[in-house]
Structures are given as C-alpha cells and as structure tokens.
C-alpha cells in the first residue's frame, strides 16, 4: 500500500505538472484568444464532476459485456478483474480530471509575464521555441516550485474517490490500486478499528509535515526566493 501510494504520487505529480505546463503554454500561444478562453472553460469542467459520477463513466467504457472499449476494439477483456491495467487507467482518469484546472494556475502566471521580455527576445532573433525555453519556462519556475512544495505534504495521501470509487473497490485490483487512504476507509467500514485508522492518518500527517519542512529547506538553500518560508 505504501509503495502504491508513493508511486502514484510521483506519477501524478510529475506527469500532471508536465501536462499542466504544456497545456498552459499551448493555449497561451493561440492566435485566437477567444478560442483559448473557451477551451479554458471547457477544461475546468471535469474537476467539478464527482468521482461518484466518474465511476459510471469509466464503467461505461470498461464493462466486460457492453463496454464501449471492448465493443470498439472487439475485445473480451475483464478490466475489473485484471489489476495490471489499472495503473494506466487511474492515471488517465486522474489527468482528465485535474490537468485542465491545473493549467489555469500556470496560465495566470503566463498572463503576467512582461511583453518586454518577448520583445527583447524578438530583437535578439529568438525563435518561438527559444522564447518558450529561455523566457516562458524560467518565469514559471517559482509557481512550479510552490506547487511541488505544497504537493509534497500530501505524498502519503491519495485521492480516495479515485482509488475507492472508480475501481469500485474491487478486491481483485488491490495489488495495484490499494493505497493507504482507501485501506483506512475500508478498515472503518468493515472493521470499525478507529484506533488503528486514527494512527494511520496521524502518521500520514506527520510524514507530510516533515517532508514539507525538508523540501522547503532544500529550496531555501538553493533558491531562497522560491521558498515558502
């Protein structure tokens, strides 16, 4: 459970940050700004959809008998019985749910970058890719650092709705989908072992606090201007 929790955190954080930045820059570079605003509004919608509803969307695609994926690819895969597929499935669902909203945070930084920096780059003969690499990305570094520091505190926590509801809490998938939070929820519902679950959540909070302090100390030593405190 601990290894699943940590691995999902790393994948979600690294891939999510990369996609957030790429999507924010892509929309910011659009010539037609109205199209960009419309896309921005559409991308935010998934974050408001509860995982209680998302599980039915996922089931509509992955159902063995009538699933859209099995019908489209002429498969007979029993998705809810094969744990090996679920790291990919959960990653896709998580990215669909969070990337649109996450990119908005970076777009707010992009909108504040001085146009004089891009004008100076044009004078120096920089291409579009060079302007992104030498102007846009360095300006995003403070926001990236803050977001990563804040996420470190949740390294031992997982999105319970994603791992409990989307997987339909299938015991056959536990080897790749069981994380600490979903285990705590199962323990409360099945065993009512409140002492153990309280200790587990307290442990998560302590580890998160310590990791934030360590990460912030490292950032403060390397780049003091980007530290939280």
Gap between the Cα atoms of 126 and 190, Å rounded = 62
Gap between the Cα atoms of 220 and 8, Å rounded = 27
Gap between the Cα atoms of 171 and 177, Å rounded = 9
What pLDDT does residue 60 have? 93
Residue with tokens 């990919």: 88
| CATH number where 81 lies | 1.10.3720.10
Residues 5-42: tens digit of each pLDDT: 889 999 999 999 999 999 888 888 876 667 777 777 78
Report the C-alpha dihedral over residues 69, 74, 76, 81, rounded to 10 degrees: -20
Compare 200 and 168 and report the one with higher pLDDT: 168
Whether the CB-CB separation of 222 and 214 falls below 8 Å is answered with: no
The number of distinct structural domains making up the chain is 1
SS3 assignment, position 169: coil
Whether pLDDT at 191 is above 80: no
Whether the CB-CB separation of 135 and 117 falls below 8 Å is answered with: yes
- Among left, alpha and beta (phi > 0; psi -120 to 50; other), residue 49 is beta
Whether pLDDT at 226 is above 80: no
Summary mean pLDDT of the chain: 86
Domain that holds residue 216: 2-226
Give the pLDDT band of residue 213 (cuts 50, 70, 90). Answer: confident
Nearest to 146, CA basis, from 206, 219, 47: 219
Q: How is residue 159 written in tokens? A: 């999105």
Could you tell me what percent of the chain has a pLDDT over 70?
98
pTM: 0.87
Helix axes 137-152, 2-28, angle to 10 degrees: 150
Whether pLDDT at 198 is above 90: no
What pLDDT does residue 182 have? 87
Residues 38-74: tens digit of each pLDDT: 777 788 888 888 898 999 999 999 987 788 998 988 8
For residues 92-109, average pLDDT: 89
For residues 116-122, average pLDDT: 89
């Amino acid at each position: 459970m601990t290894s699943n929790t940590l691995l999902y955190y790393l994948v979600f954080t690294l891939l999510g940050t990369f996609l957030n930045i790429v999507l924010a820059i892509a929309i910011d570079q659009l010539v037609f700004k109205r199209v960009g605003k419309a896309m921005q509004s559409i991308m935010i919608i998934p974050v408001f959809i509860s995982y209680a509803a998302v599980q039915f969307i996922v089931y509509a695609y992955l159902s063995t008998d009538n699933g859209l994926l099995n019908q489209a690819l002429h498969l007979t895969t029993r998705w809810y019985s094969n744990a090996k597929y679920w790291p990919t499935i959960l990653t896709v669902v998580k990215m669909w749910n969070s990337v649109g909203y996450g990119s908005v945070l970076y777009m707010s930084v992009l909108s504040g970058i001085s146009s004089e920096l891009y004008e100076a780059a044009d004078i120096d003969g920089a291409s579009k890719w060079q302007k992104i690499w030498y102007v846009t990305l360095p300006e995003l570094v403070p926001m990236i650092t803050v977001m990563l520091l804040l996420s470190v505190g949740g390294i031992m926590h997982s999105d319970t709705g994603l791992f409990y509801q989307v997987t339909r809490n299938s015991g056959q998938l536990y080897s790749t989908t069981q994380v600490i939070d979903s285990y705590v929820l199962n323990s409360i519902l099945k065993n009512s072992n409140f002492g153990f679950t309280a200790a587990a959540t307290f442990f998560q909070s302590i580890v998160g606090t310590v990791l934030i302090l360590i990460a912030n100390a490292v950032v403060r030593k390397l780049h003091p201007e980007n530290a939280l405190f």
